[in-house]
C-alpha cells in the first residue's frame, strides 16, 4: 500500500470533481486501500476524499473513520445526498486547509440520507445525523470541487487567510 500526498489549499487540483466509478476491479481496490492507509497515517484525520489526494484520476470515493480505535473503515463510492433535514453549525477542520491552524463553523444539514455504492459496487442507502452527517457533507463537497472555506462568507475567508499568513510569517521568524 501507498501513503498518498494530501493536496494543500490553494492547490488547483482541489477543484477537481470526482470521477464516477464504474469498474470496481483491482485498480479501484488499490486506490481505496491507499486512501485508508493515508487516512490512518494522518493524525486527527476523520475522513478523506479522493479529490484531495495526489491521484491521477480523482475517483468519486471517500473514506471515513473517526473512531478512536480506527477499526471502523467506511467507504462511500459514487455517493449522493438524496434528503436533507434540519441544520447544524459546528466546527470543521480539513486536512487540505491549514489542518493544524484552522477550524471554523460551517452550516450543514443535521440529518441526511445518502445513496452510494460500497467498495465492491453494491448499492447502499444510509441515514446519517450529527457528526457523521457533517463529515459526509464535507467529503461530498470535496468531490464536487469545494473545500469548506468556499461555504463561508468571502470577507470572512479573506480575514482567515490574512490571519494564517501572519501566523506563518511569525513561525518562520521563530
Q: Which residues bind Ni ion (CB under 5 A)?
A: 94
Residue 3: exposure state from Cβ atoms within 10 A (0-12, 13-18, ≥19): middle
Q: Rank residues 11 and 121 by Cβ distance to Ni ion and give the closer one.
A: 11
Which position among 37, 104, 125, 139 bears the catalytic label? 139
CB of 147 to Ni ion, least distance (A): 6
Q: Rank residues 3 and 24 by Cβ distance to Ni ion and give the closer one.
A: 3
CB of 152 to Ni ion, least distance (A): 14
Q: Rank residues 50 and 94 by Cβ distance to Ni ion and give the closer one.
A: 94
Q: How far is CA 30 from the centre of its chain?
A: 19
CB of 112 to Ni ion, least distance (A): 17
CA–CA gap between residue 110 and residue 31 (Å, rounded): 30
Active site residue 37: no
CB of 129 to Ni ion, least distance (A): 20
Residue whose C-alpha cell reads 469498474 in the numeric block: 23
| Residues labelled as active-site residues | 139
Amino acid at each position: 500500500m501507498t501513503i498518498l500526498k494530501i493536496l494543500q489549499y490553494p492547490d488547483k487540483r482541489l477543484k477537481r470533481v470526482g470521477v464516477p466509478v464504474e469498474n470496481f476491479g483491482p485498480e479501484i481496490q488499490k486506490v481505496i486501500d491507499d486512501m485508508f492507509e493515508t487516512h490512518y497515517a494522518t493524525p486527527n484525520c476523520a475522513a478523506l476524499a479522493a479529490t484531495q489526494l495526489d491521484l491521477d484520476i480523482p475517483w468519486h470515493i471517500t473514506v471515513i473513520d473517526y473512531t478512536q480505535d480506527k477499526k471502523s473503515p467506511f467507504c462511500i463510492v459514487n455517493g449522493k445526498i438524496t434528503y436533507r433535514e434540519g441544520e447544524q453549525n459546528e466546527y470543521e477542520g480539513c486536512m487540505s486547509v491549514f489542518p493544524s491552524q484552522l477550524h471554523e463553523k460551517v452550516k450543514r444539514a443535521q440529518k441526511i440520507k445518502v445513496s452510494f455504492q460500497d467498495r465492491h459496487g453494491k448499492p447502499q442507502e444510509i441515514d446519517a445525523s450529527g457528526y457523521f452527517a457533517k463529515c459526509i457533507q464535507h467529503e461530498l463537497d470535496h468531490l464536487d470541487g469545494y473545500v469548506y472555506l468556499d461555504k463561508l462568507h468571502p470577507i470572512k475567508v479573506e480575514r482567515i487567510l490574512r490571519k494564517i499568513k501572519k501566523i506563518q510569517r511569525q513561525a518562520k521568524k521563530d
